[in-house]
A and B are shown apart, each in its own frame.
Chain A
Amino acid sequence: MKTVLEIENVHAKIGEKEILKGLNLKLEPGKVHAIMGPNGAGKSTLSKTIVGHYDVTLTGGDIRYKGKSINDMEPEERALEGIFLSFQHPVEIPGVNNAYFLRTALNAKRRHEGKEELNAAEFLRLMKSHLEMLGMKSDMISRSLNEGFSGGEKKRNEILQMLILEPEVIILDEIDSGLDIDALRAVSEGINKMKDGKRSFLVITHYSRILDYIEPDYIHVLKDGRIIKTAGPELVEQLEDKGYESIEEDSAS
């Protein structure tokens, strides 16, 4: 099996508390992996660990991206290599213009890839092409980053960043939380647009609702800091009907 991201026996703690306790997970290129699990299982810690969040201390195991360990990489290096996290709660940054921020991020990536940087006009054309599809108002690009945005607007802005930065591994941390049905549809369309048979998605969610729009290839159940079961999309129905308590641990987990 080909893998783009491989998490092997990862142990991680936040403060003094161990959250991930020997977690194993492999993401295949072009596939949508959904992570489901009860509150406190370690879902958000998993996403933070992959992107190198300062809250998390990796105490054991290895995270390999395209066969190379990223344990010691800075967050920006992981991003430049193609790993993207859509935050559950995107921060507001007053005074940092949304368009300026995104152009800086895009040009950092283009520099990293040895490509020409985009000037302001070229960038605006690129940005506008995505705004309409996401149902975003054009004034959002001239506002401060996420400042005063509604919950839905913040999530759409996360997807806009994803569309522009074109990452290879996309982690969506509860992208569906706080979204009404229209916003959920627009966000899902944005995500589906990114599916190209090569990109991998790690969709972290509490509910199956988003999975009606983004069809997963695999469902992983995360409980007490470990993946205890991996199955196909049919597992969602069982989880909806019987809850996490009904899941028996795979012998291989």
Chain B
Amino acid sequence: MTPDTLRNKSVEELAVLLGTDVREPQLKKLHDLGLPSKKSEAYRYFDIETLLCREYALLDYIPKAIQESDHVEIVDGTVVSAPKGMRIFYEACKHVEMEHFDPLYYLGHLLSPHVITIEIDGDAHVEIVHRFTRSNALINYRISLENQSNRHAIVYERFEDDAVRDTLVLYGYDMRIAPNSTLRVLKTQTLHPENYAMVASHNVHVEREANALLKSFDFGGGLGLQMLRIVLEDHAHVEAGHLLYLNSESRRGTVSQIIHKGEHATSSQEAKNILDGHSRGIFDALIRVDHSAKYSKAHQNSKAVLLDESAYMAAKPQLEIYIDELEASHGSTTGQLDKKQLFYLQSRGISVTEARKMLVIAFANTLIEKVKDSRQQERIKEEFEKAFYTVHKKDAS
């Protein structure tokens, strides 16, 4: 399949091409939004057309018997293992959002009418490993994540691949964060330029008095974009943090919409971007405070450090506010490492590579150190260092 063949087609033609009912509302949404191009605002800084013009093999998603394991493993879009007793099953998605800004969110649902539903029990800590093994494939799957009221669960998400080439992964979550609960989702992903590209299109509904903590740690090269739509009900809270360390010709980042719908909702979004080589970081983020969302608090900030003069940061923090009763701020800075700090470290015998690494880690630490689990925190630091040392020669030890 070449996704680009879906471009500029009527609803009827799309229904035929995707093998779906012409009355399917998601089909109309895909048609109305149109397949993304470089002219689409959300994909302006991302080479989406190149990805959509390729020919991919479509995979058959045949549910397998789920083996027992200490973590959830999803291989090429199919669940292969999970912890004992965890409820994981395939079903039609109950909560497709009809106001999502991303056409690939709808394409994802149309290609995967049955989503993987994961019910998180109690205060569980769940690790989800996504593995990709097929080259030249379009791997498409969606996950519906549900937690329980009055519970505090954590999901750690990471990605592995068997050196696949030219694969496009479209996946994403539909999350409903139950009232009075907390759900933390921490994603760590290192991409390599020649491997798979990914568009992750998420929809998060934060119910009354619930807390969502969504952290992404994205390292390396390649093409990857996360499209995030978050809706906040009364007294709901979201804390979103995005750390990018990019190298080579990478194009990665976050395009998001956080919508304050209920009163007294709070949002805090922080992006830290460290850009090496010819990479391009993307932070195109909107916080919208609706008429109904009195007494909201909304704060948004993006900071970028350019380690190479060819690197580029596309930062576009935006606030769209329809009420007076709120507290809001947003800002964006882009700069280089502080020469004085760098020299100070060098003057103590620390090599320029190590000094740069120490300063970029220090820059990133406000996000990394918020990860309470020390094992996970250490793993994130190690993954960052691995990506960093692919570009900068490590000192012999």
* Chain A interface residues (CB < 8 Å from chain B): 51, 53-54, 74-76, 79-80, 84-85, 87, 90-91, 93-96, 101-102, 104-105, 107-109, 111-112, 117, 144, 161, 165
Contact = CB atoms under 8 A, between A and B. Distances in A.
Interface string B348-384: 1111101100110111011000000000000000000
Interface residues on B, range: 20 to 34
A109 B397 contact: no
A104 B354 contact: yes
A107 B365 CA distance: 22
Interface in B306-360: 338-341, 343-352, 354-355, 358-359
A228 to B, nearest CB: 28
A95 B363 contact: yes
Contact of A165 (B340, B348, B397): B348
B162 interface: no
A90 B341 CA distance: 9
B4 to A, nearest CB: 44
A76 B351 contact: yes
Given A53-B343, A91-B341, A117-B397, A105 B349 contact: yes
A129 B348 CA distance: 20
Given A74-B352, A94-B362, A101-B358, A111 B343 contact: no
A124 B292 CA distance: 55
Given A93-B362, A111-B395, A79 B347 contact: yes
Contact of B344 (A93, A107, A108): A93
Nearest to A92: B341
A165 B347 contact: no
A9 to B, nearest CB: 25
Contacts of B65: none
A75 B345 CA distance: 9
Given A76-B347, A101-B348, 12 more contacts: A80-B349, A84-B347, A91-B338, A93-B362, A94-B362, A95-B362, A95-B366, A96-B359, A96-B361, A101-B358, A105-B345, A112-B349
Contacts of A53: 343
A51 B352 CA distance: 15
A111 to B, nearest CB: 6
8 contacts: A75-B346, A76-B346, A87-B344, A87-B347, A93-B359, A101-B348, A108-B348, A161-B348
A84 B351 CA distance: 15
A20 B361 CA distance: 38
B396 interface: yes
A68 to B, nearest CB: 17
B396 A111 contact: yes
Instruction: With a 10 A CB-CB cut-off, give which of B339, B340, B351, B361 has the most chain A CB atoms.
Output: B340
A107 B354 CA distance: 12
The 8 closest A-B CB pairs, nearest first, are A95-B362, A79-B349, A105-B348, A75-B346, A76-B346, A95-B365, A80-B349, A108-B349
A149 to B, nearest CB: 13
Contacts of B346: 74-76, 79
A96 B347 contact: no
